[in-house]
Amino acid sequence: QERISQWHDQSSRYSTELRDFKNQVLGMLEAAEKEREAMRTEAESAAVRVDRLEREVDYLETQNPAPPCVEVDETLMEKQVATAKQRKNEKYTKLTDCSDTIASIRSMKILKRFGSSSGLWTKDAAGNSEKIYVFDGTANDTMYVFPRMREFTLFSATRKSARIKLPYPWVGTGHLVYDGHLYYIRQQGPSFQVIKFNLANKTVVDSSVFPAEEQIPVFGLSPFTYIEVAADEEGLWAIYATKEDEKNICLAKLDPSSLDIEQMWDTPCPRENAEGAFVVCGALHVVYNTRLPSRSRVQCVFDVSGTLAPEDASLVYFPKRYGSHSGMKYSPRERQVYAWDDGYQIIYRMEMKKKTEV
């Protein structure tokens, strides 16, 4: 009788547990069915949005012109090289009355550390926009755009930025944002092209094969940069180097509208131990260092108008920093340099003097 009573108790308990388990499974099946229905609804909504997006993309493609062909035209390249050689080392007629040069570094501000060890960050050198443009790495095709300095400084991730995918990958860190356009360098075989990209409608406006033969890295300590596009009060410049004069840096005046080379100069500034350069009031300032990182310094200045002799220029030292400057962009509107130093983004504010006072 005790065993029968024990069996009845166990049977009753198992029946209760089985009933509870059945109810639990039924509840889970109902919840899974609701989740499946919700996912089906979301999938249908996503399909509708994708279809709408495809129609909008089709409309935009009909409104925006197709990017121009940027394949290398050998005949055109030979003509550009010949024209550039004719204009080499001609006397330069200044476009503005700018007569300033750098006297010293007034202050340094470290904004943050973002991205890889090599890169570039800058503002529009010609406009009044507060947007921050960030190029992470020396070979990429996606740039970040932050609406203001605050969003770039305060947030560690890129969630506050817009991303712009370029039609062709860049090479080096010699890019420039100027008057609403991005000027960047594309390598195609042994040749290098300057691509002019409209940042508003995301299209290639123009492109040009750079008219220099057998180019080599322009800076001895930055072997990834073959052309540095710079801006100052006079307009656009291109800093480069060739095997013809492989010891020194060359400079060219660039037409921002047509990308034509207006004039070219051989400078006395050596490539060895150079890590970057920028142009101020028509004068090339080359920044040097050593392979074992020490203090960066402007040790060579070449003035295309001839009003400032190299031996009369100030020897400007940058404050102690982390590694090596991979990107340095001068802002003529703000009189400061946006630098990328081993992954750190730094602003150097300049103290200026008249060339006749140096």
**In this predicted model, what pLDDT tens digit does every residue of 304-340 receive, in sequence order?**
888 776 666 778 888 876 778 999 999 999 999 999 9
The number of folded domains in the chain is 2
For 305, 313, 315, the CA distances from 358, given in Å and listed in that order, are 16, 6, 10
In this structure, how many other beta carbons lie within 10 angstroms of the beta carbon of residue 131?
19
Residue ranges with strand state E in the chain = 100-113, 119-122, 132-136, 142-146, 162-165, 176-178, 181-188, 191-198, 203-209, 227-232, 235-240, 248-254, 261-270, 274-280, 283-288, 297-303, 316-317, 325-331, 336-341, 344-354
Residues 274 and 138 in one domain: yes
- pLDDT given for residue 242 in this prediction: 93
Residues 302 and 234 in one domain: yes
Q: Is 75 exposed, middle or buried (0-12, 13-18, 19+ CB in 10 A)?
A: exposed
Residues 110 and 54 in one domain: no
* pLDDT band, residue 17 (cuts 50/70/90): confident
Structure tokens at 7: 């069996």
**In this predicted model, what pLDDT tens digit does every residue of 211-233 receive, in sequence order?**
888 899 999 999 999 999 999 99
Identify the domain boundary among 66, 82, 117: 66
**CA atoms lying within 13 Å on the CB side of residue 54:** 6
Full residue range of the structural domain in which residue 211 is found: 92-354
CATH code of the domain covering residue 112? 2.40.128.630
> Is the model more confident about 60 or about 7?
7
Local structure of 285: helix, strand or coil: strand
* pLDDT band, residue 144 (cuts 50/70/90): very high
- The most confident of 51-65, 144-158, 253-267, 281-295, by mean pLDDT: 253-267
In a domain, 81, yes or no: no
Residues 14 and 121 in one domain: no
Q: Is the pLDDT of residue 347 over 90?
A: yes
Q: Is the pLDDT of residue 66 over 50?
A: no
Over residues 141-167, the mean pLDDT reads 87
Q: Are strands 274-280 and 283-288 parallel, antiparallel or unpaired?
A: antiparallel
Average pLDDT, the chain: 85
In a domain, 87, yes or no: no
